[in-house]
Amino acid sequence: MTYPAHVRDGLLGHTKRTTDNPVFSDQPFKLGVFSLNCSGGMIMSEAETGFRITWDQQLEIARAADRGGLDALVPVGRWTGFRGDTNFNGVCFETYTWAAGLAQATENIGIFTTTHVPTVHPIVAAKMATTIDHISNGRFGMNLVMGWFTPEMEMFGRKQLEHDKRYEYGQEWLDFAMRLWNEEGDFDFEGAEFFSSKGAHAYPKPIQAPRPALLNAGASPRGQQFSAKNVDINLIALPTEEVPDYVRSIKGTAQNEYDRDIDVWTYALVICRETEAEAKRVQQDIIDKGDWPGANIIMETLGIESQSFGTQIREMQERFIAGWGGPNIVGTPEQVAEQLGEYQEAGMAGAVFGFLDYAKETQEFCDEVLPIMKKNGLRH
Ligand SMILES: Cc1cc2nc3c(=O)[nH]c(=O)nc-3n(C[C@H](O)[C@H](O)[C@H](O)COP(=O)(O)O)c2cc1C
């Protein structure tokens, strides 16, 4: 097939490799800001904060992270809040359009969308991803989520699929998107169960070949399998002592079954203050003013019932209130840098994290923690 020049322009793309994405920089330990697009961020509490979901603040956070040299901005894909006392995450920016805006407003940082695969058709998603990849000149990535929060899927009038079936849906979705990003000319797509398309094609191609960088937070056996087969980075929170076995296992699956590599990053809430006592006071205040009904709703949805977990339940509620179930990295800049170093030593390749007051604390992290991480050999 021949194209006139103005149509040939439509073939443009594939001028960089996925491995050129900023998340594959040579930084010894990668860093990203997480959940900045949703009210509360990673905190379900009425603790005092200047954090607001306004575009001005999103720009301020993104530009501070970009100027500071951080590697990634990772939003949360959310369509409804968790009700309770604070309706945690109930006010949030949609993540493709968010990523497009921030791609234009930044220069070096990797920018992700968090895409609920059941809510967007692969042709639409592949085209939006390509567009943001062009806006960002190859800095775009996708966090693929299958849609665990049933009320959210019900908003779309969808019947929630059984857990492992959601990953099968995600696999077909991604297989289709991969062909759109890579094949020239038309093709017919016949998935085993979910997608069927005649004469599919997409131009231009993304900047990154063969695809934008991909993340996934699968933790179940099926989720880990999906990650090992498809994505660059698996996100998970684990106690440091469990990290080495987990990383060995998922890297082993990726290498032995799919002949590819995968990294593992943790997620965390960072509470960094001038003194350890002040940081701990802030952490305690978040818990004291916690949204306990909201935490219960999340735990019930996840099937964590008080009968089965007994006395551990309060501790789990606290972990959801402060940090979405992930670890808290609490202390002085030195202590925060040291704790991040412990994750690296255990085998994590990076971390995405949130703050109580993102705009203020992202800047402080870059000013105060990064220089210590550089001294410690975690950044350069
Ligand atoms: C760092 C991180 C980010 C996540 N972001 C989202 C999100 O934005 N939207 C969402 O519905 N689920 C999100 N999840 C939940 C995952 O999609 C997934 O349901 C969870 O990790 C459990 O996976 P599993 O069912 O394979 O064990 C996130 C999880 C983690 C650890």
Q: What is the pLDDT of residues 232-248, one digit of tens each?
A: 999 999 999 999 999 99
CATH number, domain of 49, equals 3.20.20.30
Report helix angle 243-258 to 333-346, nearest 10: 40
Question: Of the candidates 247, 235, 211, which has an alpha carbon nearest to the alpha carbon of residue 77?
Answer: 235
* CA 372–ligand 1 middle distance (angstroms): 31
Segment 153-158 long-range contacts (CB within 8 Å, at least 24 positions apart): 153/118, 155/79, 155/80, 156/79, 156/118, 156/119, 158/118
Q: What mean pLDDT comes out for the span 295-311?
A: 76
Share of residues in the chain with pLDDT > 90 (%): 89
In angstroms, rounded to a whole number, what is the distance separating the alpha carbons of residues 339 and 364?
17
Give the model's pLDDT for residue 377: 98
69 inside domain: yes
pLDDT of residue 126: 98
Are 168 and 193 in contact, with CB atoms under 8 Å apart? yes
Which among 214, 215, 204, 213 has a CA at the least distance from the CA of 182? 204
For 101-135, give the DSSP string. HHHHH-SSSEEEEEEEGGGS-HHHHHHHHHHHHHH
| C-alpha dihedral sign at 343, 323, 262, 131 | negative
For range 146-169, the mean pLDDT:
93
Residues with CB under 6 A from ligand 1: 76-77, 114, 145, 147-149, 217-220, 223, 235-236, 267
Domain membership of residue 342 as a residue range: 10-279+328-375
Distance CA 147, CA 115 (A): 9
- Separation of 290 CA from ligand 1 center, angstroms? 22
> Is 312 inside any structural domain?
no
Tell me, yes or no, whether 286 lies in a domain: no
CA distance 307 to 302: 14
Side-chain-side CA neighbours of residue 70 (13 Å): 28
Interatomic CA distance for residues 353 and 346, integer angstroms: 18
Average pLDDT over every residue of 111-130: 98
In the reported structure, the alpha carbon of residue 76 is separated from the centroid of ligand 1 by a whole-number distance in angstroms of 9
Q: Tell me whether residue 315 is in a domain.
A: no
156 Cα: distance to centroid of ligand 1 (angstroms): 19
Of all atoms in ligand 1, which is nearest to the CA of residue 325?
31
Ligand 1 center to 1 CA (angstroms): 43
Q: What is the pLDDT of residue 311?
A: 67
Q: What is the pLDDT of residues 166-208, one digit of tens each?
A: 999 999 999 999 999 999 999 999 999 999 999 999 999 999 9
The residue type found at 299 is M
Bridge partners of 350? Answer: 30, 265
- The pLDDT, as a whole number, for residue 2 is 66
For residues 372-380, average pLDDT: 98
Q: Give the CA angle between residues 218, 314, 341 to the nearest 5°.
A: 50
Residues 242 and 260: their CA atoms lie apart, in Å, by 23
Q: Spell out the residues 6+ positions from residue 362 whose beta carbon is closer than 8 angstroms to its own.
A: 33, 61, 64, 65, 68, 70, 355
**Over residues 288-294, mean pLDDT:** 96
Residue 167 falls within a domain, yes or no? Answer: yes
Domain-located, residue 50: yes
Asked whether residue 306 carries a pLDDT value surpassing 80, the answer given is: no
- Residues 6+ positions from 216 with CB-CB distance below 8 Å: 143, 144, 145, 223, 226, 227, 230, 231, 233, 234, 235
Q: How far is the CA of 353 from the centre of ligand 1 (A)?
A: 14
User: Would you say residue 1 has pLDDT above 70?
Assistant: no
pLDDT > 90? residue 9:
no
Residue whose CA lies nearest to ligand 1 atom number 13:
145
Of all protein residues, whose CA lies closest to atom 23 belonging to ligand 1? 218
pLDDT tens for each residue of 254-283: 999 999 999 999 999 999 999 999 999 999
Let me know if residue 340 belongs to a domain.
yes
- For residue 215, report the distance from its CA to the centre of ligand 1, in Å: 10
Q: If you measure from the C-alpha of residue 114 to the centroid of ligand 1, how many angstroms do you get, rounded to a whole number?
A: 10
Rg of the chain's alpha carbons, rounded to an integer? 21
Mean pLDDT of 368-377: 98
Q: Reply yes or no on whether the pLDDT at 308 is more than 70.
A: no
Which of 115, 148, 324 has most ligand 1 atoms within 8 Å of CB, for mutation? 148
Mean pLDDT of 86-114: 98
Query: Is 329 a residue whose pLDDT tops 90?
Result: yes
Give how many domains the chain has, as a whole number: 1
Task: Answer whether residue 142 shows pLDDT above 70.
Answer: yes
Determine which residue's CA is closest to atom 28 belonging to ligand 1.
Answer: 217
pLDDT of residue 307: 60
Give me ligand 1 centre to Cα 9, in Å. Answer: 38
Atom of ligand 1 nearest to the CA of 226: 26
Atom of ligand 1 nearest to the CA of 148: 19
Q: Could you count the other beta carbons within 10 Å of the beta carbon of residue 265?
A: 29
Minimum CA distance residue for ligand 1 atom 30: 217
Which atom of ligand 1 is closest in space to residue 76's alpha carbon?
A: 8
Residue 84 · residue 295 · CB < 8 Å:
yes
Q: Residues of the chain with pLDDT > 70: what percent?
A: 96
Tell me: pLDDT of 309 over 70.
no
165: left (phi over 0), alpha (psi -120 to 50) or beta: alpha
Give the pLDDT confidence of 12-47 residue by residue, as tens digits: 899 999 999 999 999 999 999 999 999 999 999 999
Domain annotation covers residue 173: yes
Average pLDDT over residues 226-234: 98
Of 76, 145, 146, the residue with max ligand 1 atoms within 8 A of its CB, to mutate for a pocket test, comes to 145
